Amino acid sequence: MTVVTDAKARRVIDVEDGRGAAQVVQFSQVLEQKGGDCAKITQTASDMSGAYLSGIDECFPNAVKVVDKFHVSKLMRDAMDKVCRKEQGKLSKQLKSGKKLLMIPEGRMSCEQKEKMTALCKQYPDTGRAFRMVQALDSVYSCSTAQEAEGAIDRSIDWLKRSRLEPMKAVANTLSTHRQNILHYFVQRLTNAVAEGINSL
């Protein structure tokens, strides 16, 4: 289903059956029927679904589209997981024990965790490179201005493209496609956090 939330009021305002452009259209009709004005929607946050984004373009022409940072991060981590599986094998004990470690931002690691991470990266260099790429993209979201973020994300995309790791190169193509909507976050500071929190329930 598609859950539509008001990010400011932090509440659900509509639920539609299905996930696509048609559901965005249905929501726009509900909004208009209840006295809303689609032309006054100025910002939206969503995942990178082409169907959602095309529906937003059709129904909310004045809205700035923001690709939610959670989905950017998930895309990167899923790609890193593919690199790990290819390098370490599906049944690797190191993969099982190291998977949780790979999910921890480097800045939050304890000294012991950093030592384990260093050892893991030496043993599995492709996994180590993928991990550093994930950390680099995560650090983009610490940028304070859109201009700073623009340079940081372009450097990350370039690194991913040159990585010779197919899952990371695929992510680079996706990020390039959605680059502008990702960068909109640094102006709008809008996320899908409310919707993701509700979905987790």
Question: Each residue's pLDDT tens digit in the chain (201 positions)?
Answer: 899 999 889 899 999 999 999 999 999 999 999 999 999 999 999 999 999 999 999 999 999 999 999 999 999 999 999 998 888 875 455 556 677 888 888 888 999 998 988 998 898 999 999 999 999 999 999 999 999 999 999 999 999 999 999 999 999 999 999 999 999 999 989 988 888 888 777
Q: Which helix (H) or strand (E) holds 92?
A: none
Strand stretches in the chain, DSSP E: 2-6, 11-16, 43-46, 64-67
pTM value is: 0.87
How far is the CA of 160 from the CAs of 14, 156, 164, 174, in angstroms?
Answer: 38, 6, 8, 11
